Amino acid sequence: MQNSATDSDNQKGKFRHHLRALVFLAVIFFFNFIARVILAPLLPAIEKDMHLTHSASGSLFLMLSTGYFVSLAGSGFVSSRLSHKKTVILSSVAVGLALLGICLSHNFWTIRLALVFLGLAAGLYLPSGIATITQLVGSRHWGKALAIHEMAPNLGFMAAPILAEIILIWFPWRGVLAVLGLSAVCLGIAYARWGRGGRFAGQAPDLYAVRRLAAEPVFWIMILLFGLAIGSTLGIYTMLPLYLVTERGIDQGWANTLIGLSRISSVGMPLLSGWISDRFGPRLTMIWVFLFNGIATLALGIAKGDWVIGFVFLQPMVAVCFFPAGFAALSTIGPPDTRNVAVSMTIPFAFLIGAGIFPALIGFSGDMGRFSLGIGLAGGLVLCGTIVAYFLKLPTE
């Protein structure tokens, strides 16, 4: 069995031969991701323009997460009929159209509806993207390949606030969405012409495949771990500009600049995490990531004065290290033809927890005048992930 796996890896060629295809997918993931987080640096301006409360602002991310949840869970039905490559193309073009729809909306409920559609469009990508990568690259290189892919959201974290501030110099917040929307549509068309890999159908999440996954205790543990990890990255990020502006009294432009700069160091961290995961295993890597991540998130909510800025930089650098190890662990659940099902069934619940409930909880705390309490509670939950990861038993172990 081991020799067979090695032969399969050798047939896929050297890792560097697939770098161009991996980078192309990472670029698509970048626009997919930045479309979902660009509202965060724009939130102070949107609140002022639409006269929203902090709770209403947090609910915007809950609407987006709801659409993302539904789309991820059902993405297998789409990829089983279109192939993974065509699903990636559809996702990119639809994300662009959804952003343009938000740009043209002037009613709060219309924006909410457009955000649900944005979540539906964005959720199609990830299972097909992961399945394409794990088919292109041999399993002994998954950590490095997924680390390259995971550079996209980290670049998105960094670029979103800086890009928002630059475009806001000339246009209102809707102009930012228009630029990103047109870019996503053009990128989808380009991938249809030059994209590699993914020319095979996924497996729809039929009852048999879902029952196989549900029977695995590791599946439920991975949902919780991904939920906590997404909460510590995307959940914190979405509400951080409001936290810094309203509770810490930092100017909006300076707050967005700080948040953007704080993500520079985290861009390369997934590469280090991917190497550590390949060397020491995903489980041990996740244990240490949750320990340091939980401490840093707690400190972000407790810190005062200049210490806040220090933890704004430290917390994301640690938090992003989870995902190469997390996706490598998730890819061990079930045979290769059901990997997309494992992703499409795990990430929806995790995203709803981390990118929906976390921001809503922090926004509710903000309306009570206790933004720092919401950040601290999030940190405590992330710290609990250390214990959960300790009891994780992967099939490969």
Number of domains in the chain: 1
What phi and psi, each to the nearest 5 degrees, are found at residue 393? -120, 105
Least confident among 61-65, 140-144, 182-186: 140-144
Per-residue pLDDT at 9: 46
Answer yes or no: is 395 within a domain: no
Per-residue pLDDT at 12: 52
pLDDT of 286 above 80: yes
What is the length of the chain?
A: 397
Per-residue pLDDT at 15: 59
Answer yes or no: is 106 within a domain: yes
Residue 92 — left, alpha, or beta (φ > 0 → left; ψ -120 to 50 → alpha)? Answer: alpha
Per-residue pLDDT at 206: 66
Average pLDDT, the chain: 80
Per-residue pLDDT at 2: 42
Identify the CATH number of the domain in which residue 320 sits: 1.20.1250.20
pLDDT of 4 above 70: no
- At residue 291 the predicted structure's pLDDT band, cuts being 50, 70 and 90, is very high
Answer yes or no: is 300 within a domain: yes
Side chain identity at residue 193, one-letter code = R
The answer to whether 332 touches 395, Cβ cutoff 8 Å, is: yes
pLDDT of 132 above 60: yes
Per-residue pLDDT at 99: 92
Tokens of 256: 């967005």
Question: Which of 139, 57, 149 is CA-nearest to residue 332?
Answer: 139
Answer yes or no: is 63 within a domain: yes
Answer yes or no: is 239 within a domain: yes
Answer yes or no: is 397 within a domain: no
Question: Which of 152, 305, 320, 112 is CA-nearest to residue 233?
Answer: 320
pLDDT of 26-58, one tens digit each? Answer: 889 999 989 888 888 887 777 777 777 767 766
Answer yes or no: is 102 within a domain: yes
Containing domain of residue 101, as a range?
14-390
pTM of the model: 0.69
Answer yes or no: is 4 within a domain: no
pLDDT of 317-352, one tens digit each? Answer: 888 888 888 888 887 776 665 666 777 678 778 888
DSSP labels for 103-166?
A: HH--SHHHHHHHHHHHHHHHHTHHHHHHHHHHHHS-GGGHHHHHHHHHHHHHHHHHHHHHHHHH
- At residue 292 the predicted structure's pLDDT band, cuts being 50, 70 and 90, is very high
Distance CA 17, CA 313 (A): 34
The answer to whether 98 touches 182, Cβ cutoff 8 Å, is: no
Per-residue pLDDT at 11: 43
pLDDT of 3 above 50: no
